Amino acid sequence: MANAVYPPYPPTLTQAEQEYLLTNLKDWSITHGLAVRPTSSYVTEDLDPARALATTAPVTLFPSLFPRSCFDQARAVSQAYSELYSAIAADEEWLGEIVKELLEIDDFIENLWKVHLAVKKEGYAQSLQLGLFRSDYMVHVSDRNSDSRLSVKQVEFNTIASSFGGLSSQVASLHRYLHSVGAYPEVTSSLINDASLQCSGSVPQLASGLAKAHQAYVESDKPNRPVCVLFLVQDVERNVFDQRHLEYALNTDHGVRTFRLPFSRVLEDTSLDQDRKLLYTPPSFSGKQWEVSVVYFRAGYAPTEYTSQRAWDARLHIERSAVIKCPGILTHLAGSKKVQQVLATPQSPHLARFLPDKLAADKLLATFAPIYPLDESEAGLEARKLATDPQTAQKYVLKPQREGGGNNIYRSEIPGFLQSLPKTKWPAYILMEMIEPPTQGNAIFRNGEVQSGEVICELGVYGACLWRDKVENEVVKGREVLENFEAGYLLRTKGAGSSEGGVAAGFGSVDSCCLLDL
Ligand code: ADP
Ligand code: MG
């Protein structure tokens, strides 16, 4: 049934047509920074010792088809999702109760919470916070033959290091360019046309979010030194051009100075003054100092980045400082899968606490797929039955409290995995119903090769949100939202047979939407 949703797609190309399309795709992508550093399996280190080469990011040859109603639905809830997650991050007591359940079974969550407690003891030095969020969805096909047969269901909500905003603007432009030079045969013109191809404003919008936070810092803290935004990055980053697009937009469109600081160098290159302002001394500027307005985390979200106490000291150092964090540690914690589960467990009462507007809450509710705890609550015991039975487990995915891809356990592997784990550790995971999006045909260009076949898509909608926390008796209780706007979209596409979808992790590709009315 699910397979019959889309018309036959994409058109078959002759060899000459495919060569024309690929030549244009390869040249356009490098010219416009739709690029990544190559993996060492594609270009070995001895061939590129200076790490100077770049290659086309994994992309689809054609823009994938996407139901217009679903695209609109996902965009329509973007601001409400930012409202929800900023409210959660500003409700320390509620979040604390959730985190408490994970403290003894998840070291990473425990350590993040400890950073929060340490800063709380001394008092937070900055009440402004920035979220550059991304809510990810797949199309769900319901059995009911009604008008709303197709809808989006949320895969996850990202509150830290939501990536690909840089490349997604580019890939939408690439597909538009390929269309304009006739790389898509005439027969597709009823599907691929100027009205159906969707641009993504993610570069200007995410940059605008960062610029607004920078501006708010400058206005409220009145620095008397040069000011910069710091991109906190991993030591080895293949997806560097994605980040560079945001840096260059900040520089060119907003006149904001940016620097890239590897997470491992935080304690070497930054210091705090007596007001806990974060000062950055770039090694390349012999002693010159910048005051930092915003630290934008594109690192620090995975346990593997915290291999020593020094890394935790670095995280604490930033959190203590008066810089605006994107995100702060409570917002990072608000993005854990456990929070998503608590909201989305059937009959959960929690959504109303954060979104009293019933209409807005109902729209969000419609995007939730069922998610269960694996603890000893009634819902948890029910979920344990579903997850340990090989038959029912087929419909589920098991997720730990992790980000960045490659951590989930799918379908038939769930029962065996749980058996290998002491039962006391089970509550560290959540059990989510698999969304089964309709498949369609497309081709992915990756590492110089074209792979054609059935694919499935995941739509991400970015949101930028700037707010000011209200602190009562040293507890964060509520906030005032200063900015909240949708910030473009991302489409990621992977082979229909693959469970994971991470582009950087080597499973998927970046894509853009060709909307169609279904
Ligand atoms: P991560 O934080 O590692 O990105 P996700 O929850 O996004 O974790 O899961 C990774 C990938 O697994 C997703 O991009 C998606 O392709 C797939 N996935 C996760 N949950 C579901 C689901 N409920 N239904 C279908 N696919 C899913
Ligand atoms: Mg994800």
pLDDT block averages, 10 residues each, the chain of length 518:
78 96 98 96 93 96 98 98 97 95 93 97 96 98 76 98 98 98 95 97 98 98 95 96 98 98 98 98 94 98 96 98 98 96 90 92 95 95 97 96 89 96 95 96 95 95 97 88 98 86 69 96
Q: Which residues contact 12 (CB under 8 A, 6 or more apart)?
A: none
Residue 508 Cα, ligand 2 centroid: separation in angstroms? 11
Atom of ligand 1 nearest to the CA of 399: 6
Probe residue for ligand 1, chosen from 151, 395, 408, 431 as the CB with the greatest number of ligand atoms within 8 Å: 408
Q: What is the DSSP string of 328-375?
A: -HHHHHHTSHHHHHHHHSTT---HHHH---HHHHHHHHTTPPPEEE-S
106 near 430, Cβ under 8 Å?
A: no
Q: DSSP secondary-structure letter at 37?
A: P
Residue ID of nearest Cα to ligand 1 atom 2:
403
| Closest ligand to Cα 502 | 1
| Closest ligand to Cα 156 | 1
Atom of ligand 1 nearest to the CA of 136: 7
- pLDDT, residue 1, reads 43
Residue ID of nearest Cα to ligand 1 atom 20:
155
- pLDDT, residue 505, reads 54
Residue ID of nearest Cα to ligand 1 atom 11:
500
Residue 408, annotated ligand binder?
yes
Residue 434 Cα, ligand 2 centroid: separation in angstroms? 14
Residue 158 among the catalytic residues: yes
Residue 454 among the catalytic residues: no
The C-alpha atoms of residue 100 and residue 130 are separated, in whole angstroms, by: 25
Residue 399 among the catalytic residues: yes
73 near 152, Cβ under 8 Å?
A: yes
- pLDDT, residue 500, reads 67
- pLDDT, residue 76, reads 98
> Choosing from 212, 399, 446, 479, which is the catalytic residue?
399
pTM: 0.96
Residue 384 among the catalytic residues: no
Residue 160, annotated ligand binder?
yes
| Residues within 6 Å of ligand 1 by CB | 136, 138, 155-156, 369, 397, 399, 403-405, 407-408, 432, 434-435, 458, 499-501
Residue 24 among the catalytic residues: no
Residue 117 Cα, ligand 1 centroid: separation in angstroms? 31
| Closest ligand to Cα 301 | 1
Residue 212, annotated ligand binder?
no
444 near 497, Cβ under 8 Å?
A: no
Residue 404 among the catalytic residues: yes
Residue 391 Cα, ligand 1 centroid: separation in angstroms? 21
- pLDDT, residue 374, reads 96
Residue 239, annotated ligand binder?
yes
Atom of ligand 1 nearest to the CA of 502: 14
- pLDDT, residue 423, reads 95
Residue 336 Cα, ligand 2 centroid: separation in angstroms? 11
Exposure string over 250-272, b if 16+ CB within 10 A, otherwise e: beeebebbbbbbbbbbbeeebeb
The C-alpha atoms of residue 34 and residue 30 are separated, in whole angstroms, by: 6
Residue ID of nearest Cα to ligand 1 atom 8:
405
Probe residue for ligand 1, chosen from 156, 160, 439, 461 as the CB with the greatest number of ligand atoms within 8 Å: 156
Residue ID of nearest Cα to ligand 1 atom 22:
434
Residue 156 among the catalytic residues: yes
Residue 501 Cα, ligand 1 centroid: separation in angstroms? 7
Ligand 2 ion: Cβ-proximal residues, 5 Å cutoff: 156
The C-alpha atoms of residue 334 and residue 325 are separated, in whole angstroms, by: 14
Probe residue for ligand 1, chosen from 397, 429, 433, 435 as the CB with the greatest number of ligand atoms within 8 Å: 397
Atom of ligand 1 nearest to the CA of 406: 3
The C-alpha atoms of residue 179 and residue 193 are separated, in whole angstroms, by: 8
Q: DSSP secondary-structure letter at 91?
A: B
The pair of structure tokens assigned to 465 is 């949100």
Atom of ligand 1 nearest to the CA of 404: 3
- pLDDT, residue 287, reads 86
* Of 28, 38, 48, 58, residue with least CA distance to 240: 38
> Choosing from 403, 442, 446, 479, which is the catalytic residue?
403
| Closest ligand to Cα 396 | 1
- pLDDT, residue 504, reads 56
* Of 281, 288, 227, 279, residue with least CA distance to 258: 227
Atom of ligand 1 nearest to the CA of 435: 24
- pLDDT, residue 405, reads 83
